[in-house]
Structure 1
Amino acid sequence: MKNIFYKMLVLCIVNTLIFTSCVSSKKFKELQSKRDITEVENNKLKDENRQLSTMVSELSQKNSAMQLQIEALKADTNSLGKNYRIASKNYNNLNSSYEDLLSKYNDLSSGNQAETKKILTELQKAQQDLMRRENALSKLEKEYADKKLTLDKMSQQLTQAQSELTEKEKAYNDLRKEVAAKDSIMNSLKNSVSNALTGFENNGLTVTRKNGQVYVSMDEKLLFASGSFAINPKGQEALIKLAKVLENNKDIKILVEGHTDNVPYNGAGNVNDNWDLSVKRATSIVRVLSINSKINPQQITAAGRGEFMPISSNETSEGRAKNRRSEIILQPNLEKLYDLVK
């Protein structure tokens, strides 16, 4: 039957994060709640897919077992039919002998008493044997009818099981094709982004695939001055090139996240703290992407993470530099996958 490859495919989609509106630092908890709900839905998708695979396997095993039972019943039924035909033939022969003896008895009833008694005894014996054969034949007829009824019921069950198995296999294959299509789209998207940002990669910018998503990560120095949320010219150049690629991909979600280190913000101006700074940086990136492309605003979300999602230790200057970053996360649209497993 089908192998466990289904699980590996589903792992590509179960950790997606979908956000639907620009947020400020005061709405971070609302965004985090939405992300948790999305994660629960993705886990539910994983569980349902695993259940689907298990059901397909169980139905296949049930199908095989029922096939064996049906073959055994067919063999048993054929044997009963053969015995039935033999018994019917014997019954007919015995009945013919009985009729012959009865005729002889009637012919000789006025003749020799000894011969008459002998014929009568033979006639009674034949009659008893005939009754036994009739009883055996009736029993065989009942057994044959019972076996045939059981065989018919099992045939119906097998037909139903085969129909269910076909339906589950179709759902599984549809899901696998959709996952493969999403994976192909994200691979193509990563290649397009990498090609567009040639010259920026490994110079403060990386493009990677993780959990079925494409991550464009940019160091603080590529986009912003320390403590600022104004994007510098080099950063704008990179973002505009990225925007031109993203505007051609209508079926993806774009999540822009701002991140900081844990050093308290001590700058002036209208920034309150690191969290506020991360939100403003994410919003600045969203504006550059939107102004310089035809990206649908409904596809894009800005979120500030502050210091709360570090990728390195804040104990060293190198680690803090890695944590001061902006990430543009490109996510596939999973609505069709959700519909397939309902």
Structure 2
Amino acid sequence: MKNLISVFALFLFVTAMSSCVVMSPKKYKALLGSKDSLYTAYNEGLVKIEDMEKEASKLKKDTSMMADELRSLQGNYNSMSNDYKKTKANSSSEIDKLSGDLAAREKRLKEVEDVLRKRDEATNALKEKLNQALLGFTKSGLTVDIRNGKVYVSLMDKLLFPSGSIIIDEKGKQALTQLAGVLKQQPEINIAVEGHTDNQKINNLGQIKDNWDLSVLRATSVVRYLTSKESVDGIRMTATGKGEFQPLDSNATPAGRSKNRRIEIVLSPKLDELYNLIK
């Protein structure tokens, strides 16, 4: 552009000289002014072009960066979309599995609850039968109650044994005979006979050395009578001695010690059905 203006100025000068026209100083100054104006405009144009080229380069660079960022975002979106689809599919499968497991557990829980309900109903019915069968012995120290789903028939030692003895007396035999009548009608009931004593030391009882001996031998006497005399199935029965270590009352008074000297016959329903459910 600059060369073009110089050529144009030279052309005007040559033209002026060749035409043999003598140019006045005023016209010559005007011509030089036009030249300067054109030169200034040219330089300003160059600056603007340079600025525009820089701006265009910047825009091109920004556009390239935005395109790269857009591709990166699109890639992330596609990856997240695929992960979401997989997670959704896996979640649906997991939810279905958990729903199935929950339904199975709820079914088993209901079955266990039904078994326990039947057990409680049977336990309450057994308690009522025993109360009716043993009603005549309640004043002699016999009680029937339910603890932890089991029926406890508690007989004070004075109802079954003479003092310090392991031989069942006649009144005790009558009570056990009445009890056996109910037990033989309930073959699904397990029977545990527990002997209990107070904490007084044993003196001069021959083969009975201490309260452990006394509690065990009294329990086995009851089991032996129920099985051999009353024909209760021995496979249903166990005999244990608890000694003085599970008292019902304080051993500091005669009344408390009397309560602690007892035979407890623990009756519990067979729970094979329940055990099979919770295996």
Contact 1:227/1:267 (<8 A) preserved: no
Q: Report matched runs for 1:181-330 at 5 Å.
A: 181-330=118-267
Contact 1:171/1:340 (<8 A) preserved: yes
Cα offset for 1:310? 1.4
Alpha-carbon separation, structure 1, partners of 2:95 and 2:205: 76
Cα offset for 1:198? 1.1
Alpha-carbon separation, structure 2, partners of 1:167 and 1:156: 17
1:270 partner letter = Q
Alpha-carbon separation, structure 1, partners of 2:165 and 2:82: 89
Q: Highest Rg: 1 or 2?
A: 2
Alpha-carbon separation, structure 2, partners of 1:148 and 1:261: 74
Alpha-carbon separation, structure 2, partners of 1:153 and 1:221: 72
Alpha-carbon separation, structure 2, partners of 1:160 and 1:341: 21
SS of alignment partner, residue 187 of structure 2: coil
1:296 partner letter = D
SS of alignment partner, residue 240 of structure 2: strand
- Which residue number corresponds to residue 113 of structure 2? 176
Q: Which runs of 5+ in 2 are unaligned?
A: 1-70
Change (3 A) 1:163 1:268: closer
Note the alpha carbon deviations across 1:263-310, whole angstroms, 9 max, x for none.
Answer: 211234332222212211111111121124342211101111222221
2:118 partner letter = A
Cα offset for 1:340? 1.8
Alpha-carbon separation, structure 2, partners of 1:314 and 1:145: 77
Change (3 A) 1:156 1:244: same
Alpha-carbon separation, structure 2, partners of 1:206 and 1:223: 14
Match among 247, 268, 276 for residue 331 of structure 1: 268
Change (3 A) 1:227 1:163: same
2:148 partner letter = N
Q: Which runs of 5+ in 1 are unaligned?
A: 1-134
Contact 1:240/1:288 (<8 A) preserved: no
Contact 1:258/1:303 (<8 A) preserved: yes
Match among 88, 94, 110 for residue 157 of structure 1: 94
2:154 partner letter = S
Alignment identity in percent?
45
Tell which deviates more after alignment, 330-339 or 185-194. Answer: 330-339
- Which residue number corresponds to residue 20 of structure 2? none
Change (3 A) 1:144 1:326: closer
SS of alignment partner, residue 186 of structure 1: helix
Alpha-carbon separation, structure 2, partners of 1:266 and 1:254: 31
Cα offset for 1:200? 1.0
Cα offset for 1:149? 5.1
Contact 1:257/1:305 (<8 A) preserved: yes
Contact 1:243/1:292 (<8 A) preserved: no
Cα offset for 1:183? 1.2
Length-normalised TM-score, structure 2? 0.67
SS of alignment partner, residue 208 of structure 2: coil
Change (3 A) 1:240 1:145: same
Cα offset for 1:156? 2.0
1:159 partner letter = D
Contact 1:175/1:340 (<8 A) preserved: yes
Alpha-carbon separation, structure 1, partners of 2:96 and 2:255: 66
Aligned length: 205
Structure number with higher relative contact order (C-alpha < 8 Å, ≥ 6 residues apart): 1
**RMSD over aligned Cα, in angstroms?**
2.3
